[in-house]
Amino acid sequence: MNIKAIEKNYIHKGGKSPVIFISLWLILLLSMPFVEDNYGEKAFALGIVFSVILQALAVLSILINAIGIRKTAFMSSGIILLTWAIEAIGVFTGLPFGRYYYTEKLQPQLLNVPVLIPFAWLMMLPSSWAVAQYITGQEKGVKFAILSGLAFTAWDLFLDPQMVEWGLWAWTNPGGYFGIPYVNFLGWFISAILITILVRPAFLPKRSLLLIYGLTWLMETVGLIAFWGLRGPALGGFAGMGIFIFLTLRYKICT
């Protein structure tokens, strides 16, 4: 059976339901404080790994059901390879994120970059494309790429202070936004635009991907305030991602 036949059979049977992966992802996120308190640092790091994998699987299942296996494979492999290359360059040169390094907590690593990191980009970048498509009404172009980069970078207002607090990575010269250099956000923005231009598929299942973006926004806000005591990054991320949630809902209501 060739790839096209496999793909048709997969979609005909409904594929793997994203609901399963989304549910497992949310359950794991809610259990993370319990894992840290009762099973220690290694179990907590393993929980982070599985949470990223589950969210990435949710996104992939959404995309496969909508655009098929081949297009999803091209897009996801492009994101993984490009982001690993960007991260490897960043670790060795300090460009485009500033001088930073990953600790030994996330394993395995390839050229000092945890293998997990490109999957973290994969789990959020398609959702940022969906947000940009809602807001701009476009599937490509400069405006679309810029909005995609901004929507993706807004997530980092939560992420980097959180990961630094957990000791997963660090900057040689901390500063700027809760210890994170401002150049880091510029690096995220430029990198997201580049990847968007190179690998984004023409069609996106916008509604499902918007759900991923919204759930991430909600879970990060609640988690950082209620469990991790990071109120500043929680408010910054709430405002940053919240702007795009608001603009998307406004577009949906007005059209």
**pLDDT score for 186:** 97
* pTM, entire model: 0.91
Extract the tokens encoding 167. Answer: 């000791």
Q: Would you say the C-alpha torsion 76, 78, 82, 84 has a positive or negative sign?
A: positive
| Residue-level pLDDT, tens digit, the chain, 255 residues | 444 544 454 444 445 689 999 999 999 999 998 987 888 888 999 999 999 999 999 999 999 999 999 999 999 999 999 999 999 999 999 999 999 999 999 999 999 999 999 999 999 999 999 999 999 988 889 999 999 999 999 999 999 999 999 999 999 988 889 999 999 999 999 999 999 999 988 788 999 999 999 999 999 999 999 999 999 999 999 999 999 999 998 876 665
Pairing of strands 113-114, 109-110: antiparallel
Burial grade of 231 (CB within 10 A; 0-12, 13-18, 19 or more): exposed
Three-class SS state of 78? helix
Tell me how far apart the alpha carbons of residues 27 and 57 are, in angstroms, rounded to a whole number.
15
Classify burial at 62, counting beta carbons within 10 Å of its beta carbon; exposed 0-12, middle 13-18, buried 19 or more: buried
Domain residue limits, the chain:
71-254
